[in-house]
């Protein structure tokens, strides 16, 4: 397995972790995975920093998320952009979809998310 493949698998697993209810409700785990200078452009148009997003994740409903069409783009030796789609199963039984993109930074052999953006889309219009 090449270096790019190892990085892709690592980032995929980190993205999956951030979607797991037990991680999304654990302030310590979130603090470890999210960079201090994190920024998110939310689907609502709101901009979140690390403190905002951790508080929001802890208070949010714990939906089921499924990642598909996952890919990465190397932005340098220490930065990777992940791009993927999410299928979310809501408590109402309805599915919602979003396009996601994150930038991860390798700091002292530890990957942390520094940027994220999610955009809703209609599966029927894909």
Instruction: Give tens-digit pLDDT for 24-49.
Output: 999 999 999 999 999 999 888 899 99
The domain of 79 spans 3-125
CA distance 64 to 32: 22
| Distance from the first to the final alpha carbon of the chain | 32
CATH assignment at residue 119:
3.10.450.50
pLDDT digit string (tens) for 53-104?
999 999 987 778 899 999 999 999 899 999 999 998 877 778 899 999 999 9
Look up the pTM and report it: 0.90
Three-state DSSP at 50 gives helix
Domain count, the chain: 1
Chain-centroid distance of CA 114 in Å reads: 10
Gap between the Cα atoms of 120 and 100, Å rounded:
9
């Amino acid at each position: 397995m090449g270096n790019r493949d190892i990085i892709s698998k690592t980032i995929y697993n980190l993205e999956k972790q951030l979607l797991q209810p037990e991680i999304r409700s654990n302030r310590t785990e979130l603090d470890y995975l999210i960079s201090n200078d994190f920024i998110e452009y939310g689907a609502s148009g709101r901009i979140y920093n690390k403190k905002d997003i951790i508080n929001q994740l802890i208070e949010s409903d714990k939906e089921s998320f499924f990642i598909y069409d996952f890919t990465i783009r190397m932005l340098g030796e220490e930065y990777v952009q992940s791009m993927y789609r999410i299928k979310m199963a809501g408590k109402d039984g309805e599915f919602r979809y979003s396009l996601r993109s994150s930038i991860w930074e390798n700091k002292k052999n530890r990957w942390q998310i520094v940027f994220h953006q999610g955009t809703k889309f209609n599966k029927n219009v894909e």
